[in-house]
């Protein structure tokens, strides 16, 4: 198995951090668009029964996507700050990303490949100078 030096590990951790942030931001965007779209359809229909139902579905979808996005955003920030909690959270997020085929699967595999290496454990265990 090839060995990562500290600089290549830093590069992979930075890339993974930004990918997690992009994943979280995209999930937030999809949730916001679902809320706007579904609520907008309710208003546009003019149906007094459809409006509250579509608004409730849009709000629920938006909140659900928001809840899914937060861990990815936090994991990305933790990785960029080189915090061990960010590594642990990113491992958990990577396992869940495996279920989101095909993009999440690729991100999950990359995240696990980088973060489960001994070099990653060593990288995050080294005390950082402020």
Helix (H, G, I), strand (E, B) or coil at 44: helix
pTM for the model: 0.88
* Residue 4: band (very low, low, confident or very high) from pLDDT cuts 50, 70, 90: confident
CA distances (Å), origin 7, targets 4, 54, 73, 120, 130:
8, 50, 24, 11, 18
User: How many domains is the chain built from?
Assistant: 1
Cα–Cα distance for residue pair 69/54, rounded to 1 Å = 22
Residue 130 lies in a domain: no
How far apart are the C-alpha atoms of 86 and 72, rounded to whole Å? Answer: 10
57 in a domain, yes or no?
yes
For 20-44, write each residue's pLDDT tens digit.
999 999 999 999 999 999 999 988 8
pLDDT tens digits, 65-91: 999 999 999 999 999 999 999 999 999
Q: What is the pLDDT of residue 129?
A: 62
Question: Is 119 inside a domain boundary?
Answer: yes
Q: Domain span at residue 95?
A: 6-125
- Structure tokens, 84: 């061990």
Residue 1 lies inside a defined structural domain of this protein? no
Among residues 18, 12, 4, the alpha carbon closest in space to that of 122 is found at 4
């Amino acid at each position: 198995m090839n060995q990562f030096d500290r600089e290549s590990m830093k590069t992979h951790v930075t890339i993974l951090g930004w990918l997690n942030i992009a994943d979280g931001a995209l999930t937030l965007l999809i949730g916001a668009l679902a809320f706007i779209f579904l609520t907008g359809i309710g208003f546009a229909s003019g149906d007094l029964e459809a409006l509250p139902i579509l608004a409730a579905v849009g709000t629920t979808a938006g909140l659900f996507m928001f809840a899914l996005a937060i861990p990815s955003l936090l994991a990305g920030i933790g990785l960029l700050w080189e915090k061990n909690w960010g590594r642990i959270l990113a491992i958990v997020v990577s396992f869940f990303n495996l279920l989101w085929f095909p993009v999440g699967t690729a991100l999950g595999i990359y995240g696990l490949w980088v973060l489960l290496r001994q070099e990653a454990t060593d990288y995050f265990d080294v005390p950082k100078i402020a």
